């Protein structure tokens, strides 16, 4: 018997029958198996990216330059995994033609797969830039506000991953609500860095690199919000992008 996805509820989409001669009331064993294998691969990639971001932030906030190579390796691995998962997702879509909750799950994988790849890329940029800053003869200090922002962004990304793993729309809505405070922190930090640039123009390159790092952190938080929005879609079938007030769960 094919494994049934834990926590998926009773709603399962119809898929093409194993013979390919039309649709059945229930997904075939192979359809369920392939979808569950793909989902597990996708979650494994997601967890690896969260861990990579954690290491990238350690490089930035704690000077852990020994972790830069690991973050870079994970970026390259995420590139490979993103392509593989997308190919597998398209294969499952073409082969089984899933509908209802199964289709939503595959649509979530396709959309969020790209978000995780971008987070891995931005984490590597942050780590490389922090290493470059640390090797300057008179490096600019990492502002405390940037360390706070970095750790808050990591919390957002980790919460987005957990909401995805647990298919928890309520937790996802908490991530979405947390995006505005992150934006406010970013704007304050950007203003602080501009003022430091005005006061210490001899460190021009350092302050500009820190501004880029702050922008990367804000973009990572945006990706976390996008992931959370897809969790709401996965569980409730509601597309809530571009909606200022996040609507309550559908009754």
The closest of 165, 158, 172 to 40, measured between CA atoms, is: 165
Place of tokens 């690991």: 70
What is the Cα–Cα distance from 112 to 92, expressed in whole angstroms? 17
**How far is C-alpha 199 from the chain's CA centre?**
36
| CATH at 199 | 1.20.58.220
pLDDT at 154 (0 to 100): 98
Q: Is residue 13 part of a domain?
A: no
Q: Is residue 20 part of a domain?
A: no
> Residue 172: which domain range?
29-236
Cα dihedral sign for 104, 107, 109, 115?
Answer: negative
What is the Cα–Cα distance from 240 to 2, expressed in whole angstroms? 33
The DSSP bridge partners found for residue 23 are 16
Place of tokens 């709401």: 232
The DSSP bridge partners found for residue 16 are 23
Q: Is residue 73 part of a domain?
A: yes
What is the Cα–Cα distance from 184 to 218, expressed in whole angstroms? 10
Q: Work out the widest C-alpha separation in the chain, in whole angstroms.
A: 73
What is the Cα–Cα distance from 42 to 225, expressed in whole angstroms? 18
**Interior CA angle at 165 toward 162 and 169, to 5°?**
75
Per-residue pLDDT of the chain (251 residues; tens, 9 = 90+): 333 333 344 345 545 444 444 444 455 788 889 999 999 999 999 999 999 999 999 999 999 999 999 999 999 999 999 999 999 999 999 998 888 899 999 999 999 999 999 999 999 999 999 999 999 888 889 999 999 999 999 999 999 999 999 999 999 999 999 999 999 999 999 999 999 999 999 889 999 999 999 999 999 999 999 999 999 999 998 888 877 655 555 55
What is the Cα–Cα distance from 218 to 224, expressed in whole angstroms? 10
Q: Is residue 160 part of a domain?
A: yes
pLDDT at 247 (0 to 100): 54
What's the structural domain count of the chain?
Answer: 1
Give the predicted TM-score (pTM) of the model. 0.86
Q: Is residue 133 part of a domain?
A: yes
Q: Is residue 24 part of a domain?
A: no
Place of tokens 């590139």: 79
What is the Cα–Cα distance from 49 to 157, expressed in whole angstroms? 9
Q: Which residues of 3-41 are buried (b: 16+ CB within 10 A; e: fewer)?
A: eebeebeeebbbbbbeeeeeeeeebbeebbebbbebbeb
Q: Is residue 140 part of a domain?
A: yes
What is the Cα–Cα distance from 20 to 12, expressed in whole angstroms? 18
Q: Is residue 56 part of a domain?
A: yes
């Amino acid at each position: 018997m094919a494994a049934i996805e834990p926590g998926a509820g009773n709603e399962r989409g119809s898929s093409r029958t194993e013979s390919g001669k039309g649709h059945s009331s229930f997904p075939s064993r192979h359809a369920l198996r392939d979808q569950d294998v793909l989902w597990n691969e996708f979650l494994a990639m997601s967890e690896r990216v969260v861990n990579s971001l954690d290491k990238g932030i350690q490089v930035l906030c704690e000077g852990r330059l020994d972790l830069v190579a690991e973050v870079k390796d994970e970026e390259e691995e995420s590139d490979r995994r993103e392509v593989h998962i997308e190919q597998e997702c398209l294969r499952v879509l073409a082969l089984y033609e899933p509908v209802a909750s199964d289709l939503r799950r595959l649509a979530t994988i396709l959309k969020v797969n790209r978000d995780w790849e971008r987070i891995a890329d931005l984490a590597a940029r942050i780590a490389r830039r922090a290493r470059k800053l640390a090797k300057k003869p008179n490096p600019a200090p990492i502002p405390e506000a940037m360390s706070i922002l970095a750790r808050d962004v990591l919390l957002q990304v980790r919460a987005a991953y957990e909401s995805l793993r647990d298919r928890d729309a309520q937790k996802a809505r908490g991530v979405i609500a947390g995006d505005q405070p992150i934006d406010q922190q970013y704007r304050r930090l950007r203003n602080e860095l501009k003022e430091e640039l005005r006061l210490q123009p001899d460190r021009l390159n350092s302050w500009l690199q820190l501004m880029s790092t702050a922008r990367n952190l804000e973009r990572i938080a945006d990706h976390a919000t996008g992931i959370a929005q897809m969790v709401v879609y996965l569980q409730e079938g509601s597309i809530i992008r571009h909606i200022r007030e996040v609507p309550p769960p559908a009754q």
